[in-house]
Amino acid sequence: MPAPIKLYNFPKSGHAHRIELMLSLLGLPTELIFVDLAKGEHKQPAFLAINPFGQVPVIDDNGTVIADSNAILVYLAKTYDQGNWLPEQPLAAAKVQRWLSVAAGPLAFGPAAARLITVFGASFNADEVIGRAHNLLAVIDQELATQPFLTGTSPTIADVANYSYIAHAPEGNVSLEPYGNVRAWLARIEALPGFVAMPRTAAGLHSAD
């Protein structure tokens, strides 16, 4: 039995949830190490020694330490999978990279930013980031009209990278109701063996539940 992979995480972080989800989908033993962002633990010397950017997630795979959620997804797929979650074929790999860029750009500055306002009190312009979120969701919904997953017929790390913040977009006052294809895609991911959910917060559109 291999030693568990240590995951430095914060349960309400969508970036950290990507990695918890990927580890579970791959069936890898995991040791969760809580990093208290609310108390600034991520900015203390001990944590900065493993990630100078002061961000979760970070993994420690038996001494191999990697930060950045998208980088970790690539590492896990390359190390522990046989080309399913990250295809080797050039065009298929490029399609995955496209969506990793979306996760680091439009997703981060749209749905994720909107949620940061309501859950963490961030000072973004709500109308601006919610507008960006809907622009992104409209594009994703259109692309998912012809295929079940973001890059085609099978799930990849592209889906994992984008799932968490889209699934929790309503917490940032971004409704998923207009996007039937997106909601069907979320359900497909949630039906995958090994799926684990991110804790939901009573914020945004969920505040009245």
58-99 pLDDT, tens digit per residue, is 999 999 999 999 999 999 999 999 999 999 999 999 999 999
Q: What is the CATH number of the domain that holds 130?
A: 1.20.1050.10
The answer, as to whether pTM is greater than 0.85, is yes
pLDDT at 209: 46
Q: Which two tokens stand for residue 38?
A: 């609310």
Range of the domain at 138: 90-206
Gap between the Cα atoms of 177 and 204, Å rounded: 14
**Please, are residues 42 and 15 in contact by the beta-carbon 8 Å criterion?**
no
Q: Is the pLDDT of residue 207 over 80?
A: no
Query: Are 151 and 59 in the same domain?
Result: no
Among 80, 105, 136, which residue terminates a domain?
80
pLDDT at 205: 66
**Please, are residues 198 and 162 in contact by the beta-carbon 8 Å criterion?**
no
Among 60, 80, 100, which residue terminates a domain?
80
Query: Are 62 and 106 in the same domain?
Result: no
Query: Are 129 and 169 in the same domain?
Result: yes
> What value does the mean pLDDT take over residues 40-67?
93
pLDDT single digits (tens) 99-152:
999 999 999 999 999 998 888 777 888 899 999 999 999 999 999 999 999 999
Query: Are 65 and 94 in the same domain?
Result: no
Residue 122 within a domain:
yes
Q: With H, G, I as helix, E, B as strand and everything else as coil, classify residue 146.
A: coil
Query: Are 145 and 99 in the same domain?
Result: yes
Gap between the Cα atoms of 58 and 67, Å rounded: 4
Tell me the residue ranges of DSSP E strands in the chain. Answer: 5-9, 30-34, 58-61, 64-67
DSSP for residue 201: -
Q: How many domains does the chain have?
A: 2
pLDDT at 206: 59
Query: Are 100 and 70 in the same domain?
Result: no
Gap between the Cα atoms of 103 and 160, Å rounded: 10
Gap between the Cα atoms of 151 and 124, Å rounded: 31
pLDDT single digits (tens) 143-183:
999 999 999 999 999 999 999 999 999 999 999 999 999 99
Query: Are 105 and 141 in the same domain?
Result: yes
Q: Which two tokens stand for residue 58?
A: 């970070």
Residue 183 within a domain:
yes
Q: What is the CATH number of the domain that holds 10?
A: 3.40.30.10
Query: Are 197 and 103 in the same domain?
Result: yes
Query: Are 48 and 120 in the same domain?
Result: no
Q: With H, G, I as helix, E, B as strand and everything else as coil, classify residue 125.
A: coil
Among 80, 101, 122, which residue terminates a domain?
80
Interacting residues of 102 by C-beta distance below 8 A, sequence separation 6+:
136, 162
Q: Is the pLDDT of residue 19 over 90?
A: yes
Q: With H, G, I as helix, E, B as strand and everything else as coil, classify residue 163.
A: helix
Residue 85 within a domain:
no
- Which of the pair, 192 or 39, is modelled with greater confidence? 192
**Please, are residues 10 and 181 in contact by the beta-carbon 8 Å criterion?**
no
